[in-house]
Amino acid sequence: MLKGLGGLGDMAKMMQAAKDMQDKVQRLQDDLDNIKVQGESGGGLVRATATAKGELTALEIDPSIFVASEKELVEDLILAAIKDAQRRAQDRSQQEMSRITQELGLPADMKLPF
């Protein structure tokens, strides 16, 4: 393509590689919106669903735990389920980032996006 221009050909390759990397990272960011994880507490009585970016999208509560005298317990279960979903979202996001860095031939501990 740029044959005979010395180092400019290499520069063009580097620029294309950087563009490809940027495109892959953007696709990954978009994919994280579509990946769903679920956290739970109370043996599944409360379930929280979030995207891999950590955005809470749903909360399911078994009606059997709605007893006025157990209000604090229900609140604790809800918080625990949300925290579990957020932790799982962060873990999944890190897994996806690690996968993309490996595909790009980058060091495993490299942080994306830059």
pLDDT digits (tens, 9 = 90+) for 52-94: 988 999 999 999 998 989 999 999 999 999 999 999 999 998 8
Residue 77's CATH number: 3.30.1310.10
Instruction: Decide if 20 is inside a domain.
Output: no
Instruction: Decide if 111 is inside a domain.
Output: no
Please state the pTM of the whole predicted model: 0.69
Flag whether pLDDT at 95 surpasses 80.
yes
Residue in 99, 102, 87, 103 with CA at minimum distance from that of residue 52: 87
**How many domains does one find in the chain?**
1
Q: Which residues are bridge partners to 39 per DSSP?
A: 48
Q: Which residues are bridge partners to 61 per DSSP?
A: 46
Tokens of 43: 């043996």
Rounded (5°) CA angle 1-113-100: 70
